[in-house]
Amino acid sequence: MLGDSLSAAYNMELDAGWVHLLSQRIAPQHQVINASISGDTSAGGLARLPDALGRYKPDIVILELGANDGLRGLSLQQLQQNLAEMIELSQSSGAEVLLAAMQLPPNYGPFYTNRFHQIYRDLEASHQVALVPFLLDKVGGVTELIQADGLHPNEKAQPIILENVWHPLQPLLRAD
**Which residues have a catalytic role annotated?**
5, 149, 152
89, HSE (Cβ side, Cα atoms, 13 Å): 21
- Residue 141 · residue 157 · CB < 8 Å: no
Q: Give 60-118 as a DSSP string.
A: EEEEE--HHHHHTT--HHHHHHHHHHHHHHHHHTT-EEEEE-----GGG-HHHHHHHHH
